[in-house]
Amino acid sequence: MLEIKDLTHSYGDHVVLEKLNLEVAQGELVSIVGPSGCGKSTLLRNIAGLITPTSGSVVLNGTPIQGVPDDLAVVFQDYSRSLLPWLTVRDNVALPLRRKGGSKAERRAQAEKALESVGLADAGKKYPWQLSGGMQQRVSIARALAYRPSLLLMDEPFGSVDAQTREDLEDLVLKVHREEGMTILLVTHDIDESVYVGDRVVVLGRNPGRVRAELPVELPADRDQIGTRADAEFVRLRAEVGKLVRGAAAADPMPGEHEPVAGTAKDEKPKGAGKTKRVKKVKKADEAKADEAKDAPETEPEHGPVAEGENGDTVGDEAEEAVKKTVKDGGEKAAEAGTSDDAEGGTARGNGDESAEQTPEKAEDKPADGAEGEAEGDAADKAEEAPKDAKAAKGDKPTGVMSAAKVKK
């Protein structure tokens, strides 16, 4: 009945369809499905004679299509634009019958019969804007049925209605096809719908559009929205069609899909791509340092803990200066006497430093007489005068302990 041979259609330099071949038998309901941009709607417009193909041919009932054929009807997705708001529902359905002639009464009778077949027998005197979207699409289908075409083209007819209404309209199309024996070519994006209503599913590829696969649907003629969709064969076909559609989209991406960012090479990272990684590295390094500082044992100042007074207060600045002066004088006298070697001098200085760490309760200046014993005695006396609880202060630093930096000064 319908034969499409080497159909090619271009919009300027963009080739939408290229050498597409398809045949549809009398009384067959064929679903056409494919990814966006594969040329489904362009194919239907070529078949309807609304546009002229760049090359190739479309033949309907043995006659090449040139212009809109008399025995063809189209149901579009946008029902709100296809119905005239100033005409009643019945007059909208009867409108195309004027082309076939006949009396006004005959046309109205055919319109009422068509409305009854789609479940709108009582809506003939209403206006389109008084009906719901699903009911308006039923009016569009009724108008096509009233015309009695040999080929009915449906371009995503249920895309603008809710899911429940969509299922009702799918069942209506199956009923019309079964009762009228009409040849129907239905374009859809819905994979489940293509399997549910079709006798055959045609999958199109894109860039440019061509037939990728044809799958016969071997399901019972009487179909049910619940039972049929649960059938194992339906599930298998739906999965197979889904793989083909997604495979076509992946194999033939639309212009601009999966391409590198403008101004960058394929293997070149866009500007700022590595910034996040660098920030993360710095953040991790800071966290590692914080963990090390947390885990490391507490260390005492270079000169040990600072001694405390009897009441827990730190020794004043005057006491510190006195201790330093005593250590210094003791070292100078020991050096003048020449009685201490390097080891003894180091010991004396070490004892002096220790006395600075463990500050005595009371520091007094003792004049050195230059004797070795006096220098050593002075350092020993100072060490003995340090409070006994200074050792306990090593692990526990009570409130008010002076900083190591201040002791050094």
pLDDT in tens, 87-108: 999 999 999 888 888 888 889 9
Cα angle: 390, vertex 396, 399; to 5 degrees = 95
Confidence of residue 183 (pLDDT cuts 50, 70, 90): very high
Mean pLDDT of the chain: 73
Q: How far is CA 186 from CA 44, 142, 161, 276, in A?
A: 9, 16, 16, 50
Average pLDDT of span 329-337:
54
Residue type, 314: T
User: Rounded to a whole number, what is the distance in angstroms from the first to the last CA of the chain?
Assistant: 108
Return the minimum-mean-pLDDT range out of 18-27, 109-118, 350-359. Answer: 350-359
Three-state secondary-structure class, residue 310: coil
CA 280 – CA 266 distance, rounded (Å): 25
**Looking at the chain, which residues constitute the CATH 3.40.50.300 domain(s)?**
2-251
Nearest alpha carbon to residue 248 among 215, 217, 211, 199: 211
Q: What percent of the chain has pLDDT over 90?
A: 30
Question: How far is Cα of residue 198 from the mean position of the Cα atoms in its chain?
Answer: 34
Confidence of residue 137 (pLDDT cuts 50, 70, 90): confident
Per residue in 346-400, pLDDT (tens digit) is: 443 444 444 444 444 444 444 444 444 444 444 445 444 444 444 444 444 444 4
Question: In this predicted structure, what is the pLDDT of residue 393?
Answer: 43
Instruction: Tell me which range, 119-133, 261-275, 342-356, is most confidently predicted by mean pLDDT.
Output: 119-133
CA 137 – CA 184 distance, rounded (Å): 16
Average pLDDT of span 151-169:
85
DSSP H helices in 200-339: 227-230, 232-251, 275-295, 317-337
CATH topology of domain 2-251: Rossmann fold (3.40.50)
Average pLDDT of span 26-46:
91
Q: Which two tokens stand for residue 263?
A: 């101004």
Beta bridge partners of 183: 151
More confidently predicted of 141 and 318 = 141
Per residue in 217-250, pLDDT (tens digit) is: 999 888 999 999 999 999 999 999 999 998 755 6
Three-state secondary-structure class, residue 73: strand
Provide the 8-state DSSP code for 100. Answer: G
Confidence of residue 158 (pLDDT cuts 50, 70, 90): confident
Residue type, 87: L
Question: In this predicted structure, what is the pLDDT of residue 389?
Answer: 45
DSSP H helices in 55-117: 79-82, 89-94, 104-117
Q: Listing from the earlier edge strand, what are the strands of the sheet with 14-24? A: 14-24, 2-11, 55-60, 63-64
**pTM exceeding the 0.85 threshold for the entire prediction:** no
The DSSP H or E segment spanning 171 is helix 163-180
Question: In this predicted structure, what is the pLDDT of residue 302?
Answer: 45
Cβ burial, residue 105 (10 Å; 0-12/13-18/19+): exposed
| Angle at which helices 163-180 and 133-147 cross, to 10° | 10
Cβ proximity of 26 and 198 under 8 Å: no
Buried b (16+ CB within 10 A) or exposed e, 27-44: ebbbbbbbbebbbbebbb
CA 352 – CA 102 distance, rounded (Å): 129
Question: In this predicted structure, what is the pLDDT of residue 32?
Answer: 94
Three-state secondary-structure class, residue 43: helix
Cα angle: 200, vertex 204, 206; to 5 degrees = 175
Cβ proximity of 378 and 368 under 8 Å: yes
Cβ burial, residue 4 (10 Å; 0-12/13-18/19+): buried
Question: In this predicted structure, what is the pLDDT of residue 250?
Answer: 60
Question: In this predicted structure, what is the pLDDT of residue 200?
Answer: 95
Nearest alpha carbon to residue 62 among 30, 29, 31, 26: 26
